[in-house]
Amino acid sequence: MSLDLPAKGCRETPVLKERGQREVFCGLTSIVWLHRKMQDAFFLVVGSRTCAHLLQAAAGVMIFAEPRFGTAILEEKDLAGLADANTELDREVARLLERRPDIRQLFLVGSCPSEVIKLDLHRAAERLSAIHAPHVRVLNFTGSGIETTFTQGEDACLAAMVPSLPATQARELLVVGALPDVVEDQMVDLLAKLGIGPVRILPAHRSAETPAVGPNTVFALVQPFLGDTHAALVRRGARHIPAPFPFGEEGTTAWLRAVADEFGVSRDHFEAVTTAPRARAQKAVAAHAETLRDKTLFFFPDSQLEIPLARFLARECGMRPLEVGTPYLHKELVGPDLDLLPEGPVLSEGQDVELQLDRQAAAAPDLTVCGLGLANPLEARGFTTKWAIELVFTPVHFYEQAGDLAGLFSRPLRRKALLKGGAA
Amino acid sequence: MKLTLWTYEGPPHVGAMRVATGMKGLHYVLHAPQGDTYADLLFTMIERRNHRPPVSYTSFQARDLGADTADLFKATAREAHARFKPQAMLVGASCTAELIQDDPGGLAEALDLPCPVIPLELPSYSRKENFGADETFHQLVRALVKPMPRTAEVTANLLGATGLGFRHRDDVTEVTRLLALMGIKVNVAAPMGASPADIARMGQAHFNVLLYPETGEGAARWLEKHCGQLWTKIVPIGVGATRDFIHEVAGLAGVSPKVDESGLRLPWWSASVDSTYLTGKRVFIFGDATHSMAAARIAATEIGFEVVGLGCYNREFARPMRAAAKAYGLEALITDDYLEVEQAIAAAAPEMILGTQMERHIGKRLGIPCAVISAPVHVQDFPARYSPQMGFEGANVIFDSWIHPLVMGLEEHLLTMFREDFEFHDEAGASHHGGKADLREINAAPAEVVEAAPETAQAVAPVEMPVAAGEPVWTADAERELRKIPFFVRGKAKRNTEKYAVERGVMTISKDTLYEAKAHYAR
């Protein structure tokens, strides 16, 4: 990798660890994109009315093609006896699968209430798998707020799939993390042009395309929040290719370069394949960098994308991060990004939202990246914000989206400059 | 355990948040795991509030469960008080914290905070959002209201408006104006807009106006019992209901019921001949009980629709809802399962739906126009402009918003006359709605020419429509004829024809059956 490293990166920067009120989603929210990505899967949350309400609110505009997720809402009688809760669950699952014969994978998703009453969804999944095999495979993971934050729901889901992936001795590249279809196609195309293959993807669109894993599998992550999945794959004998995450021209090139090195792709061939899309990405980013250059930036914790995004915004768009907050900091996964992020910003992990709001007000950044609960209140106080959830609901990875990614950050600033009406 | 895809109501602590967020000077400390803060965005995004809801969450995690979540609660409550210095505090638990039984009320009491602390017991596994709002307001009133002498002039409190309520902001303004026309001042409007200090002086009003029984009836009953304040039973949504409300208020306040109606336009808009086409349009109404019952009265007696379905999702109001439905010869649909509502709407094949955001989506799926009359609602139902549902201006707003989704009267006639026109056909949608233009190919041959086959055995074969055993089958010819009927009445025609056929034991519906049924049901 011939990256232009900063004099000093952020890998050794001490991390401000906070705990207090967390203004973040729980892991259940990941279902909002996972259920579209995996087309023969259904996500059944075993939880409360709050869980159902959260999914509805997080989905924003409800997805009225009948959603492939639902909530089995626990009622008083379920809390009274767990045996009854299991019987009830079996009945609801049977009814659901009868109504949706297209479903091949069913995920029982644990929630805060199901964890607190210790409803054993792992055993329930085994029991239900035995009942509904071979047509439907039943797995479980937790999306509970007491264990997971936002994107960790995807991590928990993929990690739950790893033990049951078929074994293989083949030398294959496994790309891990849910990407929008258009981006996934671009990535597969780039890897094919580089002559890298076969390429398998987790999660697959359909259960029939489920990848295999074994000691000759090498895997690359496209999302920084997949710590448990990483560990589960390593336990299956697969080897991780560490790399910066494929955001922006530089991140994408570094990611591809790491994979290409693993597969012995020559430097010339790499250049031949990547020169044109690199130039396109640089051009697209440059248009937005004019707006973003020298602007200060403050990240509230949200999706764990914060470190790689700060790296992209600092290095390719010329922004100055003041604080980069993230729910969890997996140094093993985001280490290469930390090396590239020039020293300077406060790195914070976890949250005490009131204290962080105090720091944000004192820092008075030009752009604040935060969740939906904070964005309008901060705008009303005169700050310019980018709501973070868009970053996981928009195609932002790899070369062709680099400009769009920069655009997500420049648009609020351009908009602020356009509006002359003032706001209360 | 009940499988739910979408819910009409959130959990009860969200109801408590609606009360707290609508108010000023109040803070709510909620024992809840991380993730429950999602509820903030309901207010900051859907309602576009420019302040965070006044709620502090304990955000406990799995590792806290073994240790001391009670300490976490106490620390959160203490810090929230120090930071926000509220006039009063609410304390309670969300669904998960309810299970760990930390008793937020007792813990907060032990802190001995220098402000009133009101504990909330909201059973998350049996009750829902409206109950939570009603109970929270009731507890606030119970804790804060002091008996005091009546005001010298005639005043009333307005009860029930909350954050995230459907048009609550404007209803409060409209009813305040209406009362002003009668010489009555508003003492306190609560919870929305009030502070705990305002709540404390509610006892000096002469009577109460209950705007929203779903979220204010508990408080109204308590105030009647403890402050001797009578309360209005009529919700002023619609022309008739507003006039009845004025009479009710006049009786309570001892003032004249004569008010200036010059701003009221619905009656003339409805009587003017352009509205003739609205006569007997079949509407299905579903929402919260108060708005649904009011909508049914407006639909039947002020617009001239036919109410073919009526129901609500809040079981607490099942009894009045059943009685109301009976008056229209209907069985009330009482359910919070939106799939059941969708089935009922599909079966009734109405020409229009008056409902919530759920019914708007159901309408989209079934191709039936829908106007929104009740929560839950989306961001677009919090309009920038003044658009109440109550009072005379509310009636005007309702006329406009119900008529807008429909195809206009003369356009409806033209569609019936020239339904094969390539750029003006029923599938293109109403011409005042954008985004649906779907021009047929200019050179495409009309359907009749392509399928000119006479009625042969083949043509009698069942076509497309799913047919259950024992149900009549449409001939291809009859089905083609059915397709020529504009979409907004096609559902009704199909249903009537099938009913007519079944009643007469006709198993094959021909073109003749279709027109015989049409004659039979002519009105």
Q: What domains does chain B contain, in order, with CATH numbers? A: 12-129 (3.40.50.1980), 145-253 (3.40.50.1980), 266-403 (3.40.50.1980), 409-521 (1.10.8.550)
Residue A369 domain flag: no
Establish if A215 belongs to a structural domain: yes
- Identify whether residues A91 and A195 lie together within a single domain: no
Asked whether the ipTM of the predicted complex exceeds the cut of 0.95, the reply is no
Q: Do B35 and A112 touch (CB under 8 A)?
A: yes
The per-residue DSSP string of B455-475 comes to: S-HHHHS--SS---TTS-EE-
Paired tokens of A188: 């597969």
Strand partners, A70: A44
Closest chain B residue to A43 measured between Cα atoms? B5
Query: Which residues partner with A149 through β-bridges?
Result: A26
How near does any CA of chain A get to the CA of B12, in Å? 9
- Among B401, B22, B387, B393, smallest CA distance to B236 is for B393
Is B475 in contact with B509 (CB distance < 8 Å)? Answer: yes
Residue A99 maps to a domain: yes
Do A36 and A97 belong together in one domain? yes
To the nearest whole Å, the CA of B98 is away from the closest chain A CA by 9
Are B33 and A23 inside 8 Å of each other by CB? no
- Cβ–Cβ contact A390 with B under 8 A: no
Q: Does residue A106 belong to the interface with chain B, where contact is any CB pair within 8 Å?
A: no
Name the phi and psi angles at A318, rounded to 5: 75, 20
A292 vs B: CB within 8 A:
no
Chain centroid, CA A346 distance in Å: 22
Distance CA B328, CA B310 (A): 9
DSSP state of B300: I
State residue B442's pLDDT score.
40
Contact B493, B514 (CB under 8 A): yes
Residues B111, B165: Cα–Cα separation, whole Å: 33
Q: What are phi and psi of B239, to 5 degrees?
A: -65, -50
Give me the tens of pLDDT residue by residue for chain A, a chain 424 residues long.
456 788 899 999 999 999 999 999 999 999 989 988 999 999 999 999 999 999 988 766 555 556 789 999 998 888 877 768 889 999 999 999 998 899 999 999 999 999 999 999 999 999 999 999 899 999 999 999 999 999 999 999 999 999 999 999 999 999 999 999 999 999 999 999 999 989 999 999 999 999 999 999 999 999 999 999 999 999 999 999 999 999 999 999 999 999 999 999 999 999 999 999 999 999 999 999 999 999 999 999 999 999 999 999 999 999 999 999 999 999 999 999 999 999 999 999 999 999 999 999 999 999 999 998 999 999 999 999 999 888 988 899 999 999 999 999 999 999 999 998 876 5
| CB neighbours of residue A5 within 10 Å | 11
* B134 assigned binding-site residue: no
Query: By the CB < 8 Å criterion, does A115 face chain B?
Result: yes
Distance of alpha carbon B350 from alpha carbon B283, whole angstroms: 5
Question: In this structure, is residue A216 part of a structural domain?
Answer: yes
Is there a single domain that holds both residue A198 and residue A230? yes
- Is there a domain that residue A67 lies in? yes
Is A213 found in the same domain as A181?
yes
Contact B134, B218 (CB under 8 A): yes
CA-based nearest distance A390→chain B, Å = 14
Q: CA neighbours within 13 Å on the CB side: how many for B243? A: 8
Q: Is B274 a catalytic residue?
A: yes
Cα B91 from chain centroid?
29
Among B14, B34, B49, whose Cβ lies nearest the Cβ of A145? Answer: B34
B139: left (phi over 0), alpha (psi -120 to 50) or beta: alpha
Tokens in use for A58?
Answer: 């997080």
Chain B touched by A294 (CB under 8 Å): no
CA distances from B268 to A77, A379, B263, B276, B411 (A): 55, 44, 11, 12, 21
Q: Are residues B185 and B396 in contact, defined by beta-carbon separation less than 8 angstroms?
A: no
Question: Exposed, middle or buried, B417 (CB in 10 Å: 0-12/13-18/19+)?
Answer: exposed
Secondary structure element (H or E) that encloses residue B362, with its range: helix B357-366
- Statement to judge: residues A218 and A108 lie in one domain: no
Cis before A211 (ω within 30): no
What Rg value do the Cα atoms of chain B yield, rounded? 27
CB atoms within 10 A of CB B64: 17
Say which CATH number the domain at A210 has. Answer: 3.40.50.1980
Cα–Cα dist B60/B66, whole Å: 11
* Residue B36 is assigned to a ligand binding site: yes
Contact yes or no for B60 and A72 at CB 8 A = no
Let me know if B17 is exposed, middle or buried by CB neighbors in 10 A (0-12, 13-18, 19+).
Answer: buried
**Contact between residue B312 and residue B321 where contact means Cβ atoms under 8 Å apart:** yes
CA B74 to chain centre: 38
Return the SS3 of B324. Answer: helix
Rounded Cα–Cα distance for residues A228 and B414 (Å): 63
Q: Are strands A385-387 and B185-191 parallel, antiparallel or unpaired?
A: unpaired
A128 and A33 belong to one structural domain: yes
Number of domains in chain A: 2
- Nearest one of B453, B393, B8 to B176, comparing CA atoms: B393
| Total-model pTM | 0.90
- Which of A232, A262, A292 is the last residue before a domain boundary? A262
Q: Which residue range is the domain that position A134 belongs to?
A: 27-148
Q: Is A112 marked within a binding site?
A: yes
Judging contacts by C-beta atoms under 8 Å, the chain B residues touching residue A377 are 44, 49-52
